């Protein structure tokens, strides 16, 4: 999926830019740092979040249609996105999975989740067509929803490669 991010950056018909990628990546790193979470824990959390989001967003897409889903995600820039996409039950399951796989404290995982989801939405929205392009689709969202979970859509890896690409310190 990281290669899709790079493609979106290089496509003048998509909204992605290196500046946007840098903003999302730095925001994730700053969030982790502010909560005392190390980079590998944050990468694992992103992987777990992506694994949970993919089937939920696929289901929403089948209910709403691809265009409506992209519009819905395009308008989610705050923590209200969390409740509109993830039920409280799924949030708790996510937090438990993060605690089990990363050793992160539950209170920290619970504090990060509502702040990380809008960043993931910003990442997906980088694939949205520019207002000038006619009839385009959100290539990042399409790739994320189309891939099987073979690692190609691992959000943890996307953030790791983004950090390397941007040459940001861990």
The 10s digit of each residue's pLDDT in 110-165 is: 999 989 988 988 899 899 888 887 777 888 988 898 866 555 678 999 999 999 99
List Cβ neighbours of 107 (8 Å cut-off, separation of 6 or more).
Answer: none
Poorest-confidence range of 22-26, 52-56, 79-83?
79-83
pLDDT digits (tens, 9 = 90+) for 47-74: 999 988 888 888 888 888 877 787 777 7
* Torsion on CA atoms 44, 46, 47, 51, rounded to nearest 10: 140
Q: Take residue 165 and report the two structure tokens written for it.
A: 């690409």
Helix ranges (H only) for 17-154 are: 18-34, 39-64, 66-74, 80-85, 88-102, 106-125, 139-146
User: Could you tell me the sign of the dihedral formed by the alpha carbons of 40, 41, 42, 46, in that order?
Assistant: positive
State the angle between helix axes of 18-34 and 106-125 in degrees (0 to 180), rounded to the nearest 10.
180
| CA–CA distance, 109 with 85 (Å, rounded to integer) | 17
- pLDDT tier for residue 80 given thresholds of 50, 70 and 90: low
User: Domain ranges in the chain?
Assistant: 2-164
Q: Considering the chain, what percentage of its residues have pLDDT values greater than 90?
A: 45
CA-to-CA separations, 5 to 2, 9, 29, 136, in angstroms, rounded: 5, 6, 18, 16
pTM for this one? 0.87
Please give the average per-residue pLDDT across 66-95, as a whole number: 75
Q: Take residue 97 and report the two structure tokens written for it.
A: 């999975």
| CA–CA distance, 107 with 58 (Å, rounded to integer) | 29
pLDDT number for residue 29 = 94
Backbone φ, ψ for residue 129 (5° rounding): -70, 150
């Amino acid at each position: 999926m990281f290669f899709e991010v790079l493609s979106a950056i290089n496509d003048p018909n998509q909204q992605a830019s290196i500046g946007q990628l840098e903003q999302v990546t730095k925001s994730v790193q700053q969030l982790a740092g502010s909560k005392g979470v190390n980079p590998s824990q944050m990468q694992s959390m992103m992987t777990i979040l992506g694994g949970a989001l993919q089937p939920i967003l696929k289901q929403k897409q089948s209910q709403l249609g691809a265009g409506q889903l992209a519009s819905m995600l395009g308008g989610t820039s705050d923590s209200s996105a969390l409740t509109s996409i993830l039920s409280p039950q799924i949030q708790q399951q996510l937090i438990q999975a993060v605690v089990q796989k990363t050793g992160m404290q539950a209170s920290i995982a619970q504090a990060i989740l509502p702040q990380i989801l809008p960043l993931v939405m910003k990442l997906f929205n980088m694939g949205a067509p520019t207002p000038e392009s006619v009839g385009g689709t959100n290539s990042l969202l399409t790739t994320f929803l189309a891939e099987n979970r073979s690692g190609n859509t691992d959000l943890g890896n996307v953030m790791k490669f983004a950090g390397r690409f941007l040459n940001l310190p861990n």
